[in-house]
Amino acid sequence: MTSSEIREKFLSFFKGKNHTIVPSAPMVIKDDPTLMFTNAGMNQFKEYFLGNSISKHPRIADTQKCLRVSGKHNDLEEVGKDTYHHTMFEMLGNWSFGDYFKKEAIAWAWELLTEVYKIDKESLYVSVFEGSEDDNLTLDQEAYDLWKAIVPENRIILGSKKDNFWEMGDQGPCGPCSEIHVDIRPASEKAKVAGASLVNQDHPEVIEIWNLVFIQYNRKADGSLEPLPEKHVDTGMGFERLSMVLQGVNSSYDSDIFRPILKEVESITGEAYGSDPEKDIAMRVVADHIRAVAFSIADGQLPSNNGAGYVIRRILRRAVRYGFTFLGTHEPFLFKLVKVLVTQMGTAFPELKRQSALIENVVREEEHSFLKTLEQGLVLLDEVISGTKGKVVDGQKAFELYDTFGFPIDLTSLILGEKGYTLDTEGFEKAMQEQKSRSRSASEVAKDDWQVVHTNGEQEFLGYDQLEAEVRLVKYRKITTKKDKTQFQLVFDKTPFYPEGGGQVGDMGYLEVPNGDVVYILDTKKENNEIVHYAKNLPKHLNESLTAVVNKVARANTERNHSATHLLHQALRNVLGSHVEQKGSAVHPGHLRFDFSHFAKLTNEELTRVEDFVNERIHEHLPLQENRQVSMKEAMKEGAIALFGEKYGDQVRTIRFGNSIELCGGTHVKNTAEIWHFKIVSEGAIAAGVRRIEAITSDAVLNHYEEKEGQLDEIKARLKSSGDPVKAIEGLIEENAQLKKEIEALQKDKAKGLKAEIKKELEQREDYKFLSREVDLDAGAMKDLSFEMGQEVDNLFLLLGSEKDGKALLSCYISKDLANAKGWNAGQIVRELGKFIQGGGGGQPFFATAGGKNPEGIKEALEKVRSLLT
């Protein structure tokens, strides 16, 4: 069975059990402050588990792109080393939201595995939660009894909280689970050791394939559990692991999902997979990581220096480093794998195909710059080694290399080993821990439990039509922010406040309380599909009706910038071509930022055309045509632009101005005339093939021009000319050049005169000529003069002192023969004399300079030199 057939069979099986099939949510999560990447199929349904909203479909099935490289689920370090953990993988899942529970979930899982996929029943084991004292929970008897009816008891294993109690995060929905494990060892092995004893023992051929989670509790902030009113089913089966089992191979890398990629790795590196265990690990790392990186970029997350982007960068670098160390790849090569990946997965995931050129470019560029870092790191490491006394290299130093230059620690260890050194791992770990606790305390936010004031149905958003509304508090909780400040999160039954999303910032404003008090709302965000308001304090009377008022000025400016962003997007596609894809946007009251894929810097002419295009649309006074409820199909037919990496339902909202039509949940002007004017203030690259435009509209444009005009007036005033300032400046430039020339000529004359003077002053000592004297020259001129004198006078000792801009300078010249004969050293001499001018210096034995902050000391230095020459 091919992997495509396996995926298809899963979905059609559950369709047959009345499940609605939905597409995978993006792997990169944009609007959830608690999670960077989708790490399980259930993430996109969190709001249903929490009871914030009700799913239209009580039964759902899908395949979900997952990434487990950060937070609670992090498999990164296993990947490559074993044969069944991946960074990015597909999770096949079926869900029940308050519908069926353990009985059906267990029966269907068994039916699918044994009757549809025809896995040998004898090779399957199941596990049941045994209970846990911490949580006061006992054996999951219900699940145990259900399994007992299907499988013999010796194939039911009891599991601890670690393996059989599933939690999404530190807080939130959770519950006991039943896992299904499969033993794929050859019969001869099975006869020797019973499979049951190998379950959950990290055996590569006795592995978990499916987890059936029975969500029935909510974990509260204080760690206690409370039962959920509705019970849910959440299952997840590893698609790659299932394919391995059904294709009769013992590593998911040998399934048809990974084979073509590994083949390409073989042909690029000239290494054969399976010939050397160390190289095999590296090849698996490479084959795995390119998928994670490519899918992230397709979802709109580029590698970067922080947050989710940094996680992606680290995955990519791990692959480069394994290639560099074990496969001898010292040139970019990962980008070459993108083509195979696209051929193989581009049909199931079209976002990959559409953006393959961008993915290749970004990956190649990243590889290139990291390889450079590696080279520099090797040089720095050599320096660290040569500065090491003994054979143990300081862990703190290795950590600095790792932390500041991104030089990988395992490479450091490897190189040290080759050179006969060892690493002080304890010191390294200590430095690492210190840094971790520093960054943890800087980023963590503590949250109390929600306090419910009113119970309420689904929350209503009024902000498309209203900026003010009477609302009631539904629940609130206290949070402690990064900077140890207390704030309150408030949820209302309805709200006019727009929550941050789709690039547009969250609304600010205030609440008016009946007694006349005001509570400020600092920001608004969406969490698990609920609009959460961040308030400075809590309203005194929680039960009363409140007036929620949005800051109208900020909102209006934000709307101008949001609508202008749509017009800019349209303009770029018009002027540059339809390859332009939105890669990010930020819409603030004061400015807008738009990132997009394009491979070259925009010329001035293109920038002007883009600006003109937008301004023409503004002058056409195009009315807003908003459609709040339209089917995705209909919207696409009309030509609406959807973004990769965004989550859309089957009903979407479209925003149209003339021919610009986009899927968008943001707020907009009623007519483009309100934007008044659009002006680009900067354009540049933010990554390979991705450019950023920053622009302003309306009042900001006025301020911009007023500021420019102010500057021009200032320039005119300084020029003291009422005529054309450009002409006046050209005149100044010319005059300046002329004056420079004259000064140079004068300085040359002066130097000539000075040289003649100095020659006359030279003291003839027994076998050399001596002079120490003050001059009015800068450092460069002092050096020139010294060398010229040296050319003309043999056996010369010349010490010059000068004061420039309040600082003291000394220069010492000694003819080479003289320095050798007498054993004098100009460097030592200036260092000695540096004391008098409160400074230091150095140089070569025949010429050296010193600088200091005490010009008063010059005279003394010029005098003291005599006593040094003995």
The annotated binding site for Zn(2+) is made up of 562, 566, 664, 668
Contacts of 542 (CB under 8 A, 6+ apart): 453, 473, 476
Cα of 455 vs its chain's centroid, Å: 38
Total of residues contacting ligand ATP (CB under 6 A): 16
Identify the CA nearest to 147 among candidates 186, 176, 175.
176
Smaller CB separation from ligand ATP, 6 or 661: 6
Shortest Cβ distance from residue 118 to ligand ATP (Å)?
19
Q: Which stretch binds ligand ATP (CB under 6 A): 233-241, 277-285, 319-327, 586-594?
A: 233-241
Smaller CB separation from ligand ATP, 86 or 677: 86
Smaller CB separation from ligand ATP, 86 or 397: 86
291 binds ligand ATP (CB under 6 A): no
Smaller CB separation from ligand ATP, 76 or 549: 76
What residues from 399 to 428 belong to the interface with ligand ATP (CB under 6 A)? none
Shortest Cβ distance from residue 209 to ligand ATP (Å)?
5
Smaller CB separation from ligand ATP, 284 or 562: 284
Smaller CB separation from ligand ATP, 85 or 562: 85
Query: 565: part of which helix (H) or strand (E)?
Result: helix 552-575
What residues from 473 to 532 belong to the interface with ligand ATP (CB under 6 A)? none
Q: Which stretch binds ligand ATP (CB under 6 A): 231-239, 425-433, 613-621, 684-692?
A: 231-239
Phi/psi of residue 99, nearest 5 degrees: -105, -110
Smaller CB separation from ligand ATP, 237 or 535: 237
The answer to whether residues 407 and 381 touch, using CB atoms and an 8 Å cutoff, is yes
For residue 473 the two structure tokens come to 């508090």
Write each residue from 160 to 199 as x if it is in contact with ligand ATP (CB under 6 A), else as -, in one continuous string.
----------------------------------------
For residue 468 the two structure tokens come to 């003010």
- Residue 619: CA atoms inside 13 Å, Cβ hemisphere, count? 6
Which of 62, 99, 208, 581 forms a contact with ligand ATP (CB under 6 A)? 208
Which of 19, 59, 65, 68 forms a contact with ligand ATP (CB under 6 A)? 68
Q: Which stretch binds ligand ATP (CB under 6 A): 234-242, 340-348, 562-570, 633-641?
A: 234-242
The answer to whether residues 687 and 302 touch, using CB atoms and an 8 Å cutoff, is yes
The one-letter amino acid at 568: L
- DSSP state, residue 149: T
Please give the sequence-ordered ranges of beta strands (E in DSSP) within 33-122, or none if there are none.
59-67, 69-70, 73-74, 88-97
Distance between CA 393 and CA 387 in Å, rounded?
9
Using CA atoms, how far residue 634 sits from 366, 624, 653, in Å, is 39, 19, 11
Which of 6, 76, 119, 209 forms a contact with ligand ATP (CB under 6 A)? 209
Query: 744: part of which helix (H) or strand (E)?
Result: helix 725-761
First and final CA of the chain: distance in angstroms?
Answer: 95
Smaller CB separation from ligand ATP, 75 or 448: 75
Write each residue from 236 to 275 as x if it is in contact with ligand ATP (CB under 6 A), else as -, in one continuous string.
xxx-xx----------------------------------
What residues from 32 to 61 belong to the interface with ligand ATP (CB under 6 A)? 40
Would you say the C-alpha torsion 75, 80, 82, 87 has a positive or negative sign? Answer: positive
Shortest Cβ distance from residue 258 to ligand ATP (Å)?
11
Smaller CB separation from ligand ATP, 318 or 475: 318
Q: Which residue in the block uniquely carries the two structure tokens 């039960």?
A: 543
Smaller CB separation from ligand ATP, 250 or 671: 250
Q: Which stretch binds ligand ATP (CB under 6 A): 209-217, 293-301, 829-837, 856-864?
A: 209-217
Smaller CB separation from ligand ATP, 140 or 240: 240
CA 858, 861, 863: angle at the middle one, nearest 5? 110
Rg (CA), the chain: 36
Using CA atoms, how far residue 231 sits from 50, 161, 228, 744, in Å, is 11, 19, 7, 88
Distance between CA 402 and CA 314 in Å, rounded?
12
What residues from 293 to 312 belong to the interface with ligand ATP (CB under 6 A)? none
Smaller CB separation from ligand ATP, 211 or 815: 211
Give exposure, 417-451, as e/b (b: 16+ Cβ within 10 Å).
eeeebebbeebbeebbeeeeeeeeeeeeeeeeeee
Smaller CB separation from ligand ATP, 182 or 690: 182
The answer to whether residues 179 and 148 touch, using CB atoms and an 8 Å cutoff, is no
Q: Which stretch binds ligand ATP (CB under 6 A): 18-26, 46-54, 207-215, 776-784?
A: 207-215
Shortest Cβ distance from residue 13 to ligand ATP (Å)?
17
Smaller CB separation from ligand ATP, 211 or 361: 211
Write each residue from 80 to 109 as x if it is in contact with ligand ATP (CB under 6 A), else as -, in one continuous string.
-----xx--x-x------------------
Give CA torsion, residues 182, 186, 192, 198, to 10 deg: -20
Cα of 749 vs its chain's centroid, Å: 61
Shortest Cβ distance from residue 152 to ligand ATP (Å)?
22
Shortest Cβ distance from residue 124 to ligand ATP (Å)?
13
Distance between CA 643 and CA 663 in Å, rounded?
8
Contacts of 10 (CB under 8 A, 6+ apart): 61, 63, 92, 112, 237
Shortest Cβ distance from residue 158 to ligand ATP (Å)?
16
- Strand order from edge to edge, sheet including 847-852: 763-764, 769-774, 796-804, 807-814, 847-852, 839-843
569 binds ligand ATP (CB under 6 A): no
Shortest Cβ distance from residue 109 to ligand ATP (Å)?
11
Residue number of the CB closest to ligand ATP reads: 238
808 binds ligand ATP (CB under 6 A): no
The answer to whether residues 540 and 558 touch, using CB atoms and an 8 Å cutoff, is no
Q: Which stretch binds ligand ATP (CB under 6 A): 137-145, 203-211, 570-578, 835-843?
A: 203-211
Q: Which stretch binds ligand ATP (CB under 6 A): 232-240, 385-393, 641-649, 697-705?
A: 232-240
Residues forming the annotated binding site?
562, 566, 664, 668
- DSSP state, residue 672: G
Shortest Cβ distance from residue 5 to ligand ATP (Å)?
18
Q: Which residue in the block uniquely carries the two structure tokens 């420019």?
A: 708
75 binds ligand ATP (CB under 6 A): yes
Shortest Cβ distance from residue 143 to ligand ATP (Å)?
15
211 binds ligand ATP (CB under 6 A): yes
Distance between CA 75 and CA 89 in Å, rounded?
11
Distance between CA 475 and CA 677 in Å, rounded?
42
Residues that bind ligand ATP (CB under 6 A): 40, 68, 75, 85-86, 89, 91, 208-211, 236-238, 240-241
